Structure 1
Amino acid sequence: MTAPMQKALVRIACDEVEVEGMLELPATPIGIVLFAHGSGSSRLSPRNNYVASILRGARMGTLLMDLLTPQEDQAYQTRFNIALLTLRLRTAAAWLRQHSDTRALPLGLFGASTGAAAALQLCAQPDVAIAAVVSRGGRPDMAGPQMLQQVRTPTLLIVGGLDEVVIGLNRDAFALLSCDKQIVIVPGATHLFEEPGKLEIVAGLAKDWFATRMGMPALHAADN
């Protein structure tokens, strides 16, 4: 009989505030993926929750975090403060490293929009061990050229084929990366991958990228 999924609302102290996240673990996880949402989004994002469900189906735990409090997310200066988002993400990663059920698991990062910039800045820090990172419609350029050049974590950038401005920004960031890397342009997809079947493609790509970097054979999108 399959053991039930563990699910818990967690609160993580960051500076003088607490941020919330939803931690879900399958019975025998091969790794844990920490989600970094974009500005104006949250752990309730239906798109990131869909991707997270696919990852859990492939035996990966997920932690969907709010990197900002609701009040902070209303202020432009904090919504686009990549250094602050990176600090919060680092705190969440450290929490996972201390949690008894996740501390031994390979850690992956999934970033959207500004969350992708924070994820890559964290990967550039030499004292943080990240197995793999995936960006969905992200702004990796906002991590900054110097940080991008220091990233050694296997990095997958996924961009919608109709998201022309963001494609250019991702290609510029991709050129600066000197790690194991791949960029995938999803034909016919806009920034949020809202078109039928497009988010399923994103989830399949992310699943394979994380699985292979966490020591498992590729789990093809067709298996969804």
Structure 2
Amino acid sequence: MAISHKDNLVRIPAGPIFLEGNLDIPDGAEGIVVFAHGSGSSRHSPRNRYVAGYLQEKGLATLLFDLLTVEEERIDNFTAHLRFDVELLANRLVAATDWLLKNPNTSDLKIGFFGASTGAAAALIAAGERPGNIKAVVSRGGRPDLAERTLPYVKAATLLIVGSRDTPVIEMNRWAFNRLRSEKEMKLVPGATHLFEEPGTLEETARLAGEWFTKYLSAIV
């Protein structure tokens, strides 16, 4: 699968600031997955980059971008405040969505979100803000419960992936799952803890996400 790196490095406007990202578009892509990284992470997250590479091999475009500026990340390393400001993170995702819709290289692609940890809550809130544009959401070890007010209004098909040994997060996801009204599934990855570091667990996550996005971001859906 040939990947186009012509526009790999991008700057996404979000109000008065710009957010840096990596945009990869395989030949013939029909959909694009925007990654919302979790607490204390960035677009360089090895787990998200692994999943992005897998999705690219499946013919899906990907956008990994920093939800915080360099200065915001520096401050957040001490305060750990912004990483839990899911409304702020959701606004940044909405800005990225609007940028994709205006970009001639991506304007025809169906859009999905892949969120991890607090990024999953931001993804669901942003999906609720752009219900006509976001077709699918996948959460990996996420905190969808933090999107409580938005959950009943999400229209995107939503897959919640949780490690079978991540007991507290399983309960949070079940709580959120029961409040979602869109098409939805919840999958437990056997043997996985919160960070999916166990052998084979991240690969299984990528496989589940690939199936979900391929189903809902194809041109015929």
Where on the TM-score scale, by shorter chain, does this alignment land: which range? Answer: over 0.9
Aligned-partner Cα distance in 2 for 1:154–1:4? 27
Aligned-partner Cα distance in 1 for 2:45–2:180? 28
- TM-score normalised over the length of structure 1: 0.91
Q: Is the alpha carbon distance of 1:57 and 1:90 closer, same or farther for their aligned partners in structure 2, counting shifts above 3 Å?
A: same
Residue by residue, what CA displacement relative to the aligned partner does 1:75-130 show, whole Å, maximum 9, x if unpaired? 43322111100100000011111111110010010000111001100111255411
Residue by residue, what CA displacement relative to the aligned partner does 1:41-80 show, whole Å, maximum 9, x if unpaired? 0000000000000100011000001011133232433221
Q: Is the alpha carbon distance of 1:188 and 1:43 closer, same or farther for their aligned partners in structure 2, counting shifts above 3 Å?
A: same
Gap runs ≥5 in structure 1: 218-224
Aligned sequence identity (%): 51
Contact between 1:32 and 1:106, CA under 8 Å: does it hold in 2?
yes
- TM-score normalised over the length of structure 2: 0.93
| Residue of structure 2 in register with 1:113 after alignment | 117
Contact between 2:31 and 2:218, CA under 8 Å: does it hold in 1?
no
Q: Is the alpha carbon distance of 1:57 and 1:141 closer, same or farther for their aligned partners in structure 2, counting shifts above 3 Å?
A: same
Shift of residue 213, structure 1, vs aligned partner: 0.7
Contact between 1:97 and 1:104, CA under 8 Å: does it hold in 2?
yes
2:102 to 92, 98, 101: 98
Aligned-partner Cα distance in 2 for 1:71–1:57? 34
| Residue of structure 1 in register with 2:143 after alignment | 139
Aligned-partner Cα distance in 2 for 1:176–1:206? 21
Shift of residue 18, structure 1, vs aligned partner: 1.6
Structure 2 residue 10 is matched with structure 1 residue 6: no
Gap runs ≥5 in structure 2: none
What secondary structure does 1:107 align onto?
A: strand
Structure 2 residue 21 is matched with structure 1 residue 21: yes
What secondary structure does 2:64 align onto?
A: strand
Contact between 1:110 and 1:134, CA under 8 Å: does it hold in 2?
yes
| Residue of structure 1 in register with 2:210 after alignment | 207
Structure 2 residue 126 is matched with structure 1 residue 122: yes
Matched residue pairs, number? 215
